Structure formats: structure tokens, C-alpha cells
Amino acid sequence: MNWVAANLDLIVELTLTHARLSLLPILIGFVIAVPLGAFAWRFRWARGLTLTVVGLLYTIPSLALFVLLPPIIGISFLSELNVTIALSIYAVALMTRSATEALESVDPDVRGAAAAMGYSGWGRFWAVDLPLAGPVLLAGLRVVSVSTVSLVTVGVLVGSRNLGYLFLNGLQRGIVAEIATGIVMTVVIAVVFDLLLALAGRLVMPWTRGADGGRTRRAARRIALTEGPA
């Protein structure tokens, strides 16, 4: 505990940087993956290819991606962009699959009813499909958020400054409290992000508060249980 008291400034600084580093990949992942997932869901021919590619992408272990990415896209190995882009790739990979599943979880009867009421393809997507897929999209986004916050720590091995610094420094100096602080603060960021996302979900989708459709709830739980990059 002495270590914590003596290093409060460092802890606060690293926590804030860590949160900032995590934010961008989560946002980029969501913005790119939803249209990509919708595309894979709408066009059967694109589905297999898209889902296979994103599946292979998150098979790649994070440290290997941090090392391979800079020469491929031509940035400096120690650039902060490296970690941001690599984690955005994971976020897109994870979220695209969730987005496809989210849209699939919409009850076909409801879609049929919307078509019968005169919704066109595009109008139905915005007014019916997307809102009803919302809860499953949110479940996917929460998985992306938690994994990103945790994966940022690996970035310390390629020169990114974040809470992972406490792991390496703590190991070298043999200070358990330092590593423990790093783990605790990483989890704290993940939990805060998760609560914010849950709150945002309630504000944007007030109808999900009470009874939930069985289909969407099952899909959301499946994603919360099984998805995740390494």
C-alpha cells in the first residue's frame, strides 16, 4: 500500500491515458462494424467471406499483430497509432459478427409485418431492423469494450504507455502492489465503460428495460458468454 500512496500521480496519469487509448478503438470498431455486419446480413454471398475474414483476424494473438502491423501499413513500430489500429482491427472483427447476429435475431414475423405495413427495404432497416437489433448490438459492444481495455495493456511491450507499464515495472522491481494496482485499475476502467454503455443503452432504447424478446435476449447472452479475442 505504501507503493500506491507514493505513486498516486503516476497511477492517475496512466489510468487516464489508458482510458483514452481504449476509447478510440471501441468507437472505430462500432462505426465500421455495424455497416459491415449489416452488409454481411443483407447479402448472403458476402456473408461467408466477411465472417471468415473477421474470424481469422481475431485468431491472431495480440502481440503478434502489434509486431506485424507496422511494416504492413508502413508506420513506425513504436507509434501510438500501431496499438490503436491493431485494437480497432480486433474491435471490428468482434463487432461485425455481433452485428450480423444482432440483425438476424430480429423476429422475421415482425419484419414481415413491417413489410406488410408498407415499409421499404431501407426505411425498414432504420425504423425496424436496427432498433430491434439494438440490445444484441449493445451486448456485442460491451464485449468489445471490456476486451479492448484489457488488451491495451499488451501494448506496453511495443512501447505504448498505459497501465501495462505497472506490470513490467512491478515485475522488474519485484513490487506485487504495483502489478495489483495495474490489474485493479484496468478492471475499474472496464467496469466504468461497461456501466456507461449499459446506461447509454437504456437511454437510447428505453423499451429494453422491461420484458425483452426471447430471441434477442438469447442472442445477447450468447455473445456475452462466448465472444472475445485473445
Partner 1 sequence: MNLFQDALAWLTDPERSAGPNPLVDRIGEHLWYTLLALVVSALIAIPLGYLIGHTGRGRQLAVLGSGAARALPSLGLLTIFTLLVGVGNAQVAAIAVFVILGVPSILAGAYAGVEAVDRTVVDAARAMGMTETQILFRVEAPLGLPLLLGGLRSAALQIIATAVLAAYVGLGGLGIYIQRGISLRTYDEMLGGAILIVLLALAVDALFAIGERVARRAIGSGPTRSRPRPDRPEPLTTDQQSTLEEIR
What are the residues binding partner 1 (CB under 8 A)? Answer: 44, 56, 59-65, 67-68, 71, 108-109, 112, 115, 121, 143, 146-147, 149-151, 153-154, 156-158, 163-164, 166-168, 170-171, 174, 176, 179-180, 182-183, 186-187, 190-191, 221-222, 224-226, 228, 230
| Least Cβ distance, residue 106 to partner 1 (angstroms) | 11
Grid cell for residue 205: 432504447
Measured from the CB of residue 163, what is the shortest distance to partner 1 in angstroms? 8
Name the residue nearer to partner 1 (CB basis): 29 or 170: 170
Please, where are the H alpha helices in 117-175? 121-124, 130-151, 164-173
User: What is the rounded CA–CA span in Å between residue 15 and residue 159?
Assistant: 16
Residue 81 CA, distance from chain mean position: 17
Nearer to partner 1, 175 or 206 (CB): 175
Closer to partner 1 by Cβ: residue 32 or 67: 67
Of residues 36 and 146, the one with the C-beta less far from partner 1: 146
- From residue 115, alpha-carbon distances to 35, 37, 53, 121 in Å are 21, 21, 32, 8
CB of 206 to partner 1, least distance (A): 24
Using CA atoms, how far apart are residues 106 and 113, in angstroms rounded to an integer? 12
Q: Rounded to whole angstroms, what are the CA distances from 61 to 3, 64, 65, 132? A: 32, 6, 6, 33
| In the complex, minimum distance from the CB of residue 57 to partner 1, in angstroms, rounded to a whole number | 11
Q: Which CB sits closer to partner 1, 5 or 117?
A: 117
